[in-house]
């Protein structure tokens, strides 16, 4: 055998060190195969939702269980609640799984989100667009802003609507596509606002944007301003009670507005990704008032999320106990009453509550669903 020279020995040492470094990297960034049992519940959730209508397509990449979630044709919390929430919740679940393991390589047996496909989406309401945008924003943050929107086969109207909403502002890698839609939409949108706890001035900015699409100042805006401020304050105080258990990097909230010219309908949507009103209200400082309010209903109904939402609207104090707060939702009701035509809807957890004014006639409705909204969505709509 020939003796290795100095140059060959140095190359051999470098190869050895590189191999050791790679082995160490794989060890720290990979969840071992024996831990795959940890993902059984997660896999069962995805498989159960697929059986119930979730459009989920496998992406064969390195023999891993990467999946592509295909959005349905229509997304609307009023007319297509189950379909809308099912697809949004699948995104939330898979993003949360990735965040929980802090970017480590998941076992090949675990489902992992590869993408969200918008190609079949033909119609989406303003609130659904806002919630979808916020959850994609959370996914983008968890990938360190590496997502690339694939918009080649998108419906032109959907592309225009989401572009107006500011959806593509989420991405560092923006699409090159330009809108080719010849259809003039009767619905105008304002770009969404994303805020964090304690941030001020957003409501004023939203007011200016809404005035620009409506073409005039909105009367009785003071009541709406108060209600939005209350919703923003509630995010700071209640929506994220345990910072270590949140599914977002920051305590964020999202708000947008739209105006339908023919119907003269103004719609404002506000969404946070916190634990939801039903989980925070029973443990608040107004627990006694909540119990007193729920005593009016049968015992089987008292713990349901929709009853807790009803209590949140009708009890005029908040868990802080401060006299200068807690009138926010009541101001929103007053805003609708002043217009004589409108609706306030709150969706959180498995419940929803709606207060409706139709030509001066006031009614309220509650709704229970097996599919939860992971956060709080507040929608105000009025006829101007």
Please list, in sequence order, all residues whose beta carbon lies within 8 angstroms of the beta carbon of residue 334, skipping any fewer than 6 positions away: 220, 223
* Same domain? 155 vs 112: yes
Residue 229 forms part of a structural domain: yes
Q: Which residue has the higher pLDDT, 381 or 241?
A: 381
CA nearest neighbour of 151 among 128, 171, 176, 183? 176
- 220 and 102 within one domain: no
50 occurs within a structural domain: yes
For residue 81, give its domain range. Answer: 40-183
Compare 169 and 327 and report the one with higher pLDDT.
Answer: 169
The residue with tokens 């200068």 is 324
CB atoms near residue 75 (< 10 Å): 25
d(Cα 239, Cα 60) in Å, to the nearest integer? Answer: 38
Give the model's pLDDT for residue 278: 87
Same-domain check for residues 342 and 201 = yes
284-314 confidence digits (pLDDT tens): 656 667 777 777 777 767 778 998 888 888 7
pLDDT digits (tens, 9 = 90+) for 179-195: 766 666 788 999 999 98
Crossing angle between the packed helical segments 81-100 and 126-142, to the nearest 10 degrees: 10
pLDDT in tens, 350-369: 999 999 998 888 899 999 99
**In the numeric block, which tokens belong to residue 261?**
């010219």
Q: How many CA atoms lie less than 13 Å away from 18 in the CB half-sphere?
A: 6
Q: Judge whether residue 58 has pLDDT over 60.
A: yes
Is 293:308 a contact under the CB 8 Å cutoff?
no
User: What average pLDDT does the chain have?
Assistant: 82
Hey, is 289 helix, strand or coil?
Answer: helix
pLDDT of 35 above 70: no
Instruction: Please indicate, yes or no, whether the overall pTM of this predicted structure exceeds 0.75.
Output: yes
The pLDDT value given to residue 235: 76
Considering the domain boundaries, does residue 382 fall inside one? yes
Evaluate if residue 121 carries a pLDDT over 80.
yes
Token reading at 37: 């049992």
CA distance 128 to 82: 12
Report the domain count for the chain. 2
Least confident range from 1-5, 302-306, 368-372: namely: 1-5
Shared domain for 160 and 196, answered yes or no, is no
CATH at residue 198: 3.30.565.10
Report the distance separating Cα 312 and Cα 290, nearest Å: 8
**CB neighbour list of residue 217: distance below 8 Å, 6 or more residues apart:** 211
Asked whether residue 228 falls in the same domain as residue 263, the answer is: yes
User: CA angle 215-122-42, nearest 5°?
Assistant: 115
pLDDT band at 320 (very low <50, low <70, confident <90, very high): very low
**What is the structure's pLDDT at 59?**
81
């Amino acid at each position: 055998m020939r003796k290795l020279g100095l140059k060959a020995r140095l190359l051999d040492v470098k190869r050895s060190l590189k191999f050791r470094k790679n082995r160490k990297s794989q060890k720290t960034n990979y969840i071992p195969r024996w831990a795959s049992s940890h993902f059984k519940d997660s896999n069962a959730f995805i498989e159960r939702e697929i059986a119930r209508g979730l459009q989920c397509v496998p992406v064969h990449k390195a023999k891993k269980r990467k999946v592509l979630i295909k959005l349905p044709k229509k997304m609307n919390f009023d007319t297509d609640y189950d379909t809308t929430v099912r697809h949004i919740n699948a995104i939330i679940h898979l993003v949360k799984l990735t965040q929980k393991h802090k970017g480590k390589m998941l076992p090949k047996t675990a489902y992992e989100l590869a993408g969200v496909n918008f190609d079949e989406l033909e119609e989406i309401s303003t609130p659904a667009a806002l919630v979808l945008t916020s959850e994609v924003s959370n996914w983008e943050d968890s990938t360190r802003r590496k997502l690339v929107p694939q918009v080649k086969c998108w419906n032109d109207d959907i592309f225009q609507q989401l572009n107006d909403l500011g959806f593509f502002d989420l991405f560092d890698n923006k699409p090159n596509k330009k809108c080719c839609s010849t259809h003039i939409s009767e619905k105008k949108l304002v770009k969404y606002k994303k805020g964090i706890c304690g941030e001020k001035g957003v409501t004023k900015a939203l007011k200016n944007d809404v005035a620009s699409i409506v073409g005039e100042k909105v009367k009785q805006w003071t009541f709406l301003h108060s209600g939005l401020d209350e919703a923003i304050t509630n995010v700071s105080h209640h929506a994220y009670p345990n910072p270590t258990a949140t599914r977002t990097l920051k305590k964020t909230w999202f708000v947008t507005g739209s105006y339908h010219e023919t119907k003269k309908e103004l719609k404002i949507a506000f969404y946070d990704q916190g634990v939801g009103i039903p989980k925070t209200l029973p443990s608040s400082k107004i627990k006694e008032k909540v119990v007193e309010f729920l005593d009016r209903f049968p015992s089987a109904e008292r713990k349901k999320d929709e009853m807790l939402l009803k209590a949140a609207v009708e009890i005029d104090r908040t868990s802080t106990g401060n006299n200068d707060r807690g009138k926010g939702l009541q101001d929103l009701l007053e805003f609708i009453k002043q217009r004589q035509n409108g609706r306030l809807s709150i969706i959180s957890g498995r419940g929803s509550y709606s207060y409706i004014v139709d030509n001066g006639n006031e009614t309220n409705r509650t709704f229970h669903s097996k599919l939860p909204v992971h956060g709080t969505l507040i929608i105000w709509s009025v006829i101007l």
